[in-house]
Structure formats: C-alpha cells, structure tokens
Amino acid sequence: MSEFFIDRYGRRKFADDVIPEKKTGYFAVLCQEGRVLLTCPPQAEVWEFPGGGQKRQEDFRACLFRKLYEETGIELMLDKSGRVFEQEADYYADDEDGGFYRYHQVFLKYDCEKYGLRMSEEIRKTPENGWAVWAKIKDVAAGNIKMNVWHLAAAKNLLSDM
C-alpha cells in the first residue's frame, strides 16, 4: 500500500520509499470584532492563518514573531495564553522544494484587543508580496472562503464558539 501526503489544497501526493522530514509549525489565529486574520502567500491560491515552520533553535514566540512579520507586516510578540489546537499533518509542501513532512502544527487563538492590536484595513499587501485580509469568522466557519485544508480543520475547532 502506498503512503500519501496531502498538500494545502487537499490533493494527495503518493510517496513510496520517502522518509519524511519532521517539522513543527506555529500559526496565529488572530480574532477581532467577529473577524479573523488570513494570509495568502504569493505562491498559493488559498487563504491560511499566518505562521509556519519553526527554525532550528527558535522557540514558538520567535517563530510566530518572524512569521507574523513576514506574512502580515505586524510586529507582535505572542504568548501561549489563548486556546490551542494541535494536529499532526502528513504534508506535501508543493510550494517549497516538494518536500514531504510529518508536520506537527500548533494553532494558537488570540483576541487582538488583549494585545492592543487594532487593524482597520480590510486587505493589504504583505512584506513577502502576498496578501493579508480580515475575513468574517462566520464565512470561514461556513466554508465560504477557499482555505488551506489543514488550516480549515484548525478553524473548525478554534472558531466554532464564535
């Protein structure tokens, strides 16, 4: 039987005789007034929560700080005080080197007002040439927004009470 990995679009990529790399990633689910911050990297066609893979010797705070800036332009140091959703993803990184990963994903939900973050722009260009948008939580929960399948699973868990 073949082992398969799933990319951000939900497509299967079969991986016979592949030894996947282990990776951990942190993602910020930033909520404000019934909206949640989503990003769309320049190489993708789906919305995601800002965040990504942790670099060697980088703790979760440094990882989230770096990824938030790269993907949104926001400089914000977060802690682990919000709700957390974790999942293991057999992930095929179609946008990178075509790598296969056993990806431990940690999604942390935050109330922006607690951190003094107030954003009024609906959509904006990001430092890495992608897009960031404040989407209505009800649209995300209803599946009205084309999202990364792994991030959608986290959204259903973390945003179900809103």
CATH number at residue 127: 3.90.79.10
47 or 120: which leads in pLDDT = 47
* Residue 2 predicted with pLDDT over 70: no
Question: Can you tell me the mean pLDDT for 17-39?
Answer: 91
Counted domains in the chain: 1
Distance CA 129, CA 97 (A): 19
- Domain membership of residue 91 as a residue range: 4-158
pLDDT in tens, 150-160: 999 999 999 97
- Interstrand relation of 99-111 and 21-32 (parallel, antiparallel or unpaired): parallel
17 or 111: which leads in pLDDT = 111
Distance CA 117, CA 111 (A): 9
Contact 48, 105 (CB under 8 A): no
- Interstrand relation of 123-125 and 131-136 (parallel, antiparallel or unpaired): antiparallel
Amino acid identity for residue 30 in this structure: L
pLDDT of residue 48: 96
Helix (H, G, I), strand (E, B) or coil at 126: coil
* Residue 22 predicted with pLDDT over 50: yes
